[in-house]
Every structure is written in C-alpha cells, then in structure tokens.
Amino acid sequence: MPPRSTLRLAPDAAGMAEAGRLLRAGRLVAFPTETVYGLGADATDGRAVAAIYAAKGRPSFNPLIAHVATPEAALALGRFNADARALARAFWPGPLTLVVPVASGEAVADLARAGLDTVGLRVPSHPVAMALLAATGRPVAAPSANLSGHVSPTTAAHVLADLDGRIDAVMDGGATAVGVESTIVACLDGPPVLLRPGGVPRDAVEAVIGRPLASATGEATIAPGMLASHYAPKAAIRLDATGIEPGEALLAFGPGAPSGAADILNLSPTGDLAEAAANLFGHLRRLDASGARRIAVMPIPAQGLGEAIRDRLARAAAPRD
C-alpha cells in the first residue's frame, strides 16, 4: 500500500537510490521526462503495473509505454525493422515512442502490453529520467502521472495535486520542457503509422523514413491514447459463471472455485484484484491454448481494479463478425 503522504525526492544521489529501490520493490514513483511527468512502475512486474491503473483510476487496461535508459536496452525488448532502427538512431534519447513486435523472451509484463504481441518503447532524454532508469536497471512503465482524464502534469506539484497519498514518491525535477506527450509511431508490417502526434513533429519523422507516415485507422489499440481493443481469445467467453458446462475451461477467481473443468486457472485464489489483473492476459492465453471452445469466467467484483478487469473481459466476450 502507498504511504499516507507521498515522498518528494530530490534528484540527487540519495533521491535516485531511494527511487530506484522503490521501483525495484514494486512501488510507484512519479518522475519527470522531457514531455510530462510519468507515473513509473517496474514494467516486468504485473502487480506493480496493476498498481498504476489503481492509482490513476484508469477505466481499462490500455497498453503502457516502457521507458528504458538506453537504445541498446530498447533493442533487447523489441524487434526493430529498418524504419524503427533509423528512427531510434535519429530521435533517441527523445520524445518518440516506437511500437514494435515484442521480442522473443521479452521482459515487459503482459498487463503493461494489454496482452498484445507488440510493445511501446521510449528512451527519454530528461537527465533525471535517464539517471532514474539507470538506477532502476529495469524497464519502467510510465503513463502520465495524473488521475485518468485529468490534464497531464508538467511539475511535481501537478502530480501531487492528483496523486498525493496514492503513490509512494515523486522525483522533483522541475518543470518539463516539451509539455506534450511523446509522438508514437508503429513500425510493424507495412509503412510506419503515426498513432499519436507529440513532441517529435510528423515532418521530422517523415524526413528520416523518406516517405509519408500512414494514419491509424479503425479501433485497434496498440498504444496509449487510442480506442480500446486488446487480446481476444479464439474461444467464446461466458461471463459471471457460477458453474461449469460440458466442454468449458474455467477462469476462476477467489477461493471455492467449482470443479469439473478439464482446464482451470485461478486469477487469484485469495481474491486479490491486483494479482488477478496481473494474471488476466496470461491466464486467458493459456486457457485459449487448451483447445476449449468456451471459457467460463467466475464473477469478478466491480470495485477498484475489478472494474477494469470486467471491462477487459466484456470486450473479450463481445460478439465478433
């Protein structure tokens, strides 16, 4: 649980050491980047990522950007085609996020990627962010450090106005320079796609790749700031199940799960919603791979992180064309 009052850390050696310790321990630390203040958590720790959503009051599990200290660290986490490598060379460190296929054996948690096989990566140029990421030694998931729907923060005071007592610490690095979020470009199959305008202008990106950026279409969410579409299993989903029907796999929650399914996975045997959120996408994938035609899902409480879990499951259960 976060402290009653959020620590305000100075960007000195002692502050960096404490912030790195907190992040490695699965706690939440806000810090400045050259764009806005981010709300950081260890991107390899699903429970820590779940705590971001709880602190922000985010309505659904959108993909989060993983921040790393160096371009070399980013290259280890994703598969970079020629366009992605050229953009990384041109703009990193800096306010550009690249969405690329996730690397085999990657470290970024399922929940941070919203269950997708892509990952958003950024190497910030702010000296405080760079020092903190180096001190942490792990990728750090960091959406803007504000309550969901509020204006993005550009000072530590803005962060505390929204999140004091909801997070563990804020690293005070003064006002941010850019003041708008990073530009997001997807480098997947086909031409690079502009997913979100931001701190790097479109024409600067196009000058590097030598052709116009494509525009995002449809409702597929592969980055923050877009509509929600996440991992959808092949199996049908039956929500709020209190029993198991023949041929079903079971996604259970809490103690006392019914028996009878060939394949049963429990999001959290103790009923812990943070543990359930961390396990959600991985458990869905494993049950989907079992070959069951339908997955029965036990009732999930609607409070706290349960609201986001139910939202994601409802999307997975929606009729498909």
Q: What is the CATH number of domain 7-215?
A: 3.90.870.10
Cα–Cα distance for residue pair 88/97, rounded to 1 Å: 9
Cα–Cα distance for residue pair 113/63, rounded to 1 Å: 5
DSSP run (H or E) holding 275:
helix 273-288
Multiple choice CATH, 236-317, 3.30.70.920, 3.30.750.24, 3.40.50.2300, 3.40.50.11030: 3.40.50.11030
Task: Collapse the DSSP code of 288 into the 3-class scheme (helix H, G, I; strand E, B; otherwise coil) and give the result.
Answer: helix
**Residue 185 contacts residue 85 (beta carbons within 8 Å):** no
**Residue 195 contacts residue 222 (beta carbons within 8 Å):** yes
**What are the distances in angstroms from CA 57 to CA 66, 104, 305?**
19, 31, 8
Cα–Cα distance for residue pair 43/33, rounded to 1 Å: 17
Q: What does the pLDDT profile of the chain (321 residues) look like in tens digits?
A: 555 689 999 999 999 999 999 999 999 999 999 999 999 999 999 999 999 999 998 657 789 999 999 999 999 999 999 999 999 999 999 999 999 999 976 689 999 998 889 999 999 999 999 999 999 999 999 999 999 878 889 899 999 999 999 999 999 999 998 777 899 999 998 899 999 988 899 999 999 999 999 987 654 455 554 434 445 788 999 999 988 999 999 999 999 888 877 899 999 999 999 999 989 988 998 999 999 999 999 999 988 888 888 888 888 887 765
Contacts of 315 (CB under 8 A, 6+ apart): 60, 228, 229, 230, 232
- The domain spans of the chain are 7-215, 236-317
Can the peptide bond before residue 2 be classed as cis, meaning omega within 30 degrees of 0?
A: no
